[in-house]
Structure 1
Amino acid sequence: MSSITSKQTAEEKELQSVAKTVTAYEFSELEKLARAQQEVEHGLSKWEAIKTYPKAFFWICAGIFIAILVGYESQAGGIVLSIPRFREDFGNAYQGGYVLPADWQSAITGGATGALVVGSFFGSFTTDKWGRKWVIMFALLLSIPSVILEFVATTIEVFFAGKFINAFCLGILLTVVTAYIAEISPLALRGVAIASINLALCVGPFLCYIITYKTQNKVGRMAYRSMMIPQFIIAGISIVWCLFLPESPYYLLTKDKTEKTLKSLNKIYKGSDLVEAQYALMKVTIQEAQLANGEGSSLQELFYKRNFKRTLAGVCSFLIQPLSGVAFISGYSTYYYQLAGFTDDRSFQLSCGAQGLSIFGTITSWFTLDFFGRRSLMIIGTTCMAVLNLLVACLGLNINNIPAVTASCAFMAMYNFFYNASIGPGAYVVSGEVPTNNLRSKTIATGSFLNNGIQCMWSFVLPYMFNPDQANMGSKVLFIFGGLSALYLLVFFFYLPETAGRSFEEIDEMFNDKIPIRKFKGHKCRVQIEAAQVFNEVKGEINHIERV
């Protein structure tokens, strides 16, 4: 016990010493230290960054684990409607079976999406006031009673109330966790770390499918209540982790809390020298951004001329998701499997396989995001979405042609892979990198708002377009998504910058200097040149001392 106390005392003294050092620095000295650290960050590979920053990697994984809760509940809301016992308990008798009234079906899917949107905006405003950690904790704590409501519900009204509150919590988590991971990630890991948010959103549904497959035939209410139990487990583990989660040092620095910033950095990075270097890097980035863009963090700031291009890039990266047909592919793939002659069990297994492809696609993005770059990958991914939509649309025109419909099922499965290898994770990476520090959470919230708003619109409109007793468009619906994806290529060509391998400071500089969007990739920043010069000077001094 005494050894632990003495170790804590030693760490406190070391941090106090670092605090005195960094507060005594002139800005030019901080700038020199920041430039040297930035050059080091540029030279690290992903694996080297994990070895150099093991604690940062651990906290990134903790954030990703929390995001699994969002993916799980998002899928559970739709799957629960397909469980016969749920329809029996909450629906009405109809032609020898049970059916849930259409208005409640719409409320459970559309209402939850609306709550997610509200939660996203609530999270973006409160996180600037209370900090990332405590807003995440608030959402996790509130999610527990909301899941309890869903679990114990014996009326559809109570079930909907639990679902609505839970979706509100998930909206908060999705926005704040994404911003948090972007802010604590070292440069070499930032793209992979933010892209892994999408992995969590794929793992959640995959778990949901497996659990439902194993429990849907249980006797009694546990047929659907069983799928809610993992939410308690994930939320409980996340709450325990959140107790120890370091606050975002970027947030603390914007509040001028130097000592708390250093304590947070000490939890994320190892060693006083590294803490000092990371402090300098963040301090200089924030100060230069404030000088160029002001200190405002209001929603209106997003649309001011100096920030509008950044807002457009961040938001547009989210908009391609609902416009590329993901709502149709995810919602109607089972119908196509049945048309191809697959049994219900086989269709369900194919759905699990599609989720497996989604996970594999996201893992692939860890490498392609840096290899191709953000801009190129989003353009390639959108092209693939356009082609796959058109292929599925054409092959599904004649539902009596079983081989053609079977081929369309294969292309639907391929869609899951290509979507999650490109525009799925790409949206979170771009929106996490492009905005200024003050506007990051609000940019993510705005993109999420428009994304979910359009998804909500499709959830109401698609049945009328697709169903045989309505417009009966069938696979022709995908011609619309194919066309929208093709048009969106122009949006990305003119408005999406390349930010792969760029520090936040470099991104700020290029936007402030009004570098054309298409020239971001090859542009050599002043910050880069200065960083290389400072690093060489420091290296030369060290070599000189060693020779002496």
Structure 2
Amino acid sequence: MSTDHKSETSHHEVVDENANANANATGDASSPPRSTWDALRDNPWVVLFCLYGNIGALMYGFDNLVLSLALSMTAFETTFGTWTAGAYVIPAYWQSLWNALSQVATMLGATAAGPLQDRFGRRAAFLVAACLSAAGIAVVYTAATPGAFLAGKIVNGLALGLALTTGQTYISEVTALELRGIALSGFTFCMNLGYLIAASVALPRMSMASDAAYKVLFASGWVWPGVILLFLPFMPESPYFLVMNGQHDQAGRMLRRLGHQASEAVILLDDIVRTHTEEQLRTQAARESSFRDCFRGTNWRRTRIILYCNALSQVIGSSFMTNGPYFLVQAGMSSAKTGMMTEIGIAFGIASSLVTGYLMTVCGRRRLILFGIGLSTGLFTVMGIAGCFPHSSPALWVVGIFLELSWWVYGPAIGPAMAIAGEVSAVRLRAKSLAVGFTFNYFFSTVWNVVMPYLYNSDEADLGGLIGWIFAGLGAISLGVLFVELPETKGRSFEELDEMLTAGVPTRAFPGSVGSPSSRIVGKYTVDPLGTLSGMIT
């Protein structure tokens, strides 16, 4: 190595030491390495705020399963069904409308969350989501016709989109660097917890003939907007939002409310202001941001990554898994065995989310996602092979078992993906970028929710276990795309990620870099604060 290069490296080491001496547990400081447990101990309030932020995922999981369970209740069928061939039957088109339009409303709510957050703040978006959810549940609870029930599902769907998108934005902006990945991946745990709570409330009431059976099920959904409204007065506004709106003093106060010492808050605030200012210098973005900015220049790479991450829930067969009970009955499995398999699947999903939270601190994001998609591809391949023997009882059991084993994939594939989606966007575009991601997520979900019944219904394609080949193929394609496009963001501050993505650092060059707030050495690349590749280190 040349003398100049040695001198340059020595300079970076000195700057790093000075930066580390003053740094702390932030998402943007070049802080010295801390264990996850140390970060949890030092940031108890932030942990609670992140649990609050993930309530949107819990609401979504609860709402997703509630309708499926209500459809199996006799009183619900009597209220909303029509008398056909000696029994009450809910027309298929109403079931499709309830599912599809609820997903479309969630998509629209996610889209609206971006400008709403940027205009009025993260707390205001939570408030609107809680009010809409309470109103939507009220309509659902009092509905006596399928049309009124649909109206309530649409209103509540808008609230879910707002709460989900706002929660991920908020968590990414208030969490310490060491905790950010775990906090964002808590999305999957809370969603599975929502499934479990819905099942716990509904299963003891399945045999009740009174309309109280399903009304209590829907009324229990009021708990979630109630929790949002109850704790909202204690929630600090995001310091990033306040800095972007020129309220630096208020941002400093919010940092102290998040549990940081006064001296620590000053350094944190300086990091946030510097990151925002450097981004404006690079993009000349003093003007108000728009959704179009997400698809321009280097931001298009960030948006692609966010879209990939949001597509993965359908790549691993999320719509297939949530329709699993009906699919297994259609395939010939008894109701009792189907119920047992469903409960086991939800338990697998929760356990997978918890294990993933730990593994992310060891393995990072990228490797876990690739492992999860690879595992999903393997499981669905086995299911597809079993589906080639449709009239075999052992083959049916293989299909059912591997469908429920797929819940294990949810943690490693989706948890880290939600972490990366919350980390790679530009600071000024974070709310809008996540809105784009969640909008695509629920658009993709709507498509699959419409298509799935045609794939497994006995009067349509009746593919049975052969559906596994479809998801195995999607998984194989996704593995190739993710290997090329998906960067490792573990341990990266927002400032570092912003500079690296703006500079166009290749995906494979992300790991193993060191640097300082004034200049980064990224693999073979030196990235200056304005995000340009200024030289090569040999």
Same fold at TM > 0.5: yes
**Which amino acid is 2:382 matched to?**
L
Pick the aligned partner of 1:289 from 270, 279, 282: 279
Given the alignment of the two structures, is residue 387 of structure 1 paired with residue 378 of structure 2, yes or no? Answer: yes
SS of residue paired to 1:154: coil
**Which amino acid is 1:326 matched to?**
S
Pick the aligned partner of 2:319 from 311, 320, 327: 327
> Aligned residue for 2:152?
162
Residues 340 and 154 of structure 1, relative CA distance in 2, 3 Å threshold: closer
Q: Is the 8 A contact 1:315 1:444 kept in 2?
A: no
Q: Is the 8 A contact 2:369 2:414 kept in 1?
A: no
Pick the aligned partner of 1:431 from 421, 430, 437: 421
SS of residue paired to 1:305: coil
**Which amino acid is 1:91 matched to?**
G
SS of residue paired to 2:190: helix
Q: What is the CA-CA distance between 1:223 and the residue it aligns to? A: 1.5
Given the alignment of the two structures, is residue 60 of structure 1 paired with residue 50 of structure 2, yes or no? Answer: yes
**Which amino acid is 1:316 matched to?**
Y
Q: What is the CA-CA distance between 1:392 and the residue it aligns to? A: 1.2
> Aligned residue for 1:90?
80
> Aligned residue for 1:406?
397
What's the CA shift string for 1:276-301, capped at 9, x where partnerless? Answer: 12212212222222222343521111
Q: Is the 8 A contact 2:30 2:517 kept in 1?
A: no
Structure 2 length-normalised TM: 0.88
Alpha-carbon distance in structure 1 between the residues aligned to 2:431 and 2:91: 37
> Aligned residue for 1:17?
none
User: Over aligned residue pairs, what C-alpha RMSD do you find?
Assistant: 2.2
> Aligned residue for 1:481?
471
> Aligned residue for 1:143?
133
Residues 325 and 62 of structure 1, relative CA distance in 2, 3 Å threshold: closer
Alpha-carbon distance in structure 1 between the residues aligned to 2:51 and 2:417: 19
Alpha-carbon distance in structure 2 between the residues aligned to 1:205 and 1:436: 33
Alpha-carbon distance in structure 2 between the residues aligned to 1:400 and 1:66: 42
SS of residue paired to 1:462: helix
Q: What is the CA-CA distance between 1:332 and the residue it aligns to? A: 2.9
Q: Is the 8 A contact 2:306 2:437 kept in 1?
A: yes
**Which amino acid is 2:264 matched to?**
L
Q: What is the CA-CA distance between 1:399 and the residue it aligns to? A: 3.1
Residues 315 and 338 of structure 1, relative CA distance in 2, 3 Å threshold: closer
Structure 2 unaligned blocks of 5 or more: 1-14, 522-538
SS of residue paired to 1:320: helix
> Aligned residue for 2:300?
308
Q: Is the 8 A contact 1:215 1:226 kept in 2?
A: no
Q: What is the CA-CA distance between 1:275 and the residue it aligns to? A: 1.5
Greater displacement, 265-274 / 498-507: 265-274
Structure 1 unaligned blocks of 5 or more: 1-27, 532-548
Q: Is the 8 A contact 2:74 2:209 kept in 1?
A: no
> Aligned residue for 1:349?
340
Q: What is the CA-CA distance between 1:525 and the residue it aligns to? A: 3.6
Structure 1 length-normalised TM: 0.87
> Aligned residue for 2:230?
240
Residues 517 and 374 of structure 1, relative CA distance in 2, 3 Å threshold: same
Q: Is the 8 A contact 2:173 2:238 kept in 1?
A: yes
**Which amino acid is 1:325 matched to?**
G
Q: Which runs of 4+ in 1 moved over 6 A?
A: 528-531
What's the CA shift string for 1:64-111, capped at 9, x where partnerless? Answer: 245422221122233322322211110112223221112211110000
Alpha-carbon distance in structure 1 between the residues aligned to 2:202 and 2:336: 12
Q: What is the CA-CA distance between 1:315 and the residue it aligns to? A: 1.0
SS of residue paired to 2:495: helix
Given the alignment of the two structures, is residue 209 of structure 1 paired with residue 209 of structure 2, yes or no? Answer: no
Alpha-carbon distance in structure 2 between the residues aligned to 1:523 and 1:32: 16
Alpha-carbon distance in structure 2 between the residues aligned to 1:71 and 1:168: 15
**Which amino acid is 1:443 matched to?**
S
Q: What is the CA-CA distance between 1:44 and the residue it aligns to? A: 1.4
Alpha-carbon distance in structure 2 between the residues aligned to 1:226 and 1:34: 56
**Which amino acid is 2:67 matched to?**
G
Alpha-carbon distance in structure 1 between the residues aligned to 2:359 and 2:519: 27
Q: Is the 8 A contact 1:382 1:489 kept in 2?
A: yes
Residues 337 and 370 of structure 1, relative CA distance in 2, 3 Å threshold: farther
SS of residue paired to 2:54: helix
Pick the aligned partner of 1:511 from 501, 516, 531: 501
Pick the aligned partner of 1:451 from 441, 466, 475: 441
> Aligned residue for 1:373?
364
Residues 111 and 530 of structure 1, relative CA distance in 2, 3 Å threshold: closer
Q: What is the CA-CA distance between 1:530 and the residue it aligns to? A: 7.6
Q: What is the CA-CA distance between 1:334 and the residue it aligns to? A: 4.7
> Aligned residue for 1:298?
290
SS of residue paired to 1:424: helix
Aligned residues: 500
> Aligned residue for 2:349?
358
**Which amino acid is 1:301 matched to?**
D
Residues 478 and 407 of structure 1, relative CA distance in 2, 3 Å threshold: closer
What's the CA shift string for 1:325-374, capped at 9, x where partnerless? Answer: 221232134532675654x2442232122111111111111122232221
Alpha-carbon distance in structure 2 between the residues aligned to 1:381 and 1:354: 16
How does 1:157-236 map onto structure 2 within 5 Å? 157-236=147-226
Q: Is the 8 A contact 1:338 1:347 kept in 2?
A: no
SS of residue paired to 1:93: strand
> Aligned residue for 2:450?
460
Residues 363 and 41 of structure 1, relative CA distance in 2, 3 Å threshold: farther
Alpha-carbon distance in structure 2 between the residues aligned to 1:139 and 1:170: 7
Alpha-carbon distance in structure 2 between the residues aligned to 1:512 and 1:445: 21
> Aligned residue for 1:539?
none
Q: Is the 8 A contact 2:60 2:191 kept in 1?
A: yes
Greater displacement, 120-129 / 236-245: 236-245
What's the CA shift string for 1:167-197, capped at 9, x where partnerless? Answer: 0010000001110001000000000000002
Residues 149 and 506 of structure 1, relative CA distance in 2, 3 Å threshold: same
> Aligned residue for 1:279?
269
